[in-house]
């Protein structure tokens, strides 16, 4: 079985900055200089390029996010390192508390 490839976020965001948002290049430079993007990098650069959307758009976009195992483990380690509870972590990453509880059961047992 072959592993499905994830999108090349670095290339996608480099093109977005170059073609549509050249004024924001300076703000995105530190993230774009990384060889591989993590989930936190994608969220950070997305927030820089597309600041606060209206609630309806934000809700619709949230439904289409997906996380792989490394991203989930990174989010859970962020919780541990910053001593956050599930509700605080959920607000920070705009996730459900139930999703975080499920991830903890799956990956930290």
The CA distance from 32 to 13, in Å, is: 8
The CA distance from 56 to 63, in Å, is: 11
User: What stretches in the chain show pLDDT beneath 70?
Assistant: 1-4, 53, 58-64, 109
Counting Cα atoms < 13 Å in the Cβ hemisphere of 2 gives 3
Q: Residue 77: is it exposed, middle or buried by C-beta count within 10 angstroms (0-12/13-18/19+)?
A: exposed
Q: So what's the pLDDT on residue 75?
A: 92
Q: So what's the pLDDT on residue 18?
A: 93
**Sequence ranges of the domains in the chain:** 1-51, 67-109
For the segment 50-80, what is each residue's pLDDT rounded down to a tens digit? 877 677 776 666 666 778 888 899 899 999 9
pTM of the model: 0.59
Quickly list DSSP for 36-103.
S--HHHHHHHHHHHS----HHHHHHHHTT----HHHHHHHHHHHHHTT--HHHHHHHHT--HHHHHHH
């Amino acid at each position: 079985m072959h592993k499905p490839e994830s999108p090349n976020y670095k290339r996608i965001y480099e093109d977005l900055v170059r073609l549509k948002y050249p004024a924001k290049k300076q703000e995105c430079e530190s993230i774009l200089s990384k060889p591989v993007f993590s989930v936190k990098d994608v969220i950070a650069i997305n927030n820089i390029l597309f600041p606060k959307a209206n609630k309806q758009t934000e809700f619709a976009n949230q439904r289409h996010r997906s996380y792989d195992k490394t991203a989930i483990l990174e989010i859970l380690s962020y919780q541990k390192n910053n001593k956050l509870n599930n509700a605080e972590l959920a607000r920070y990453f705009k996730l459900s508390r139930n999703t975080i509880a499920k991830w903890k059961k799956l990956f930290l047992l």
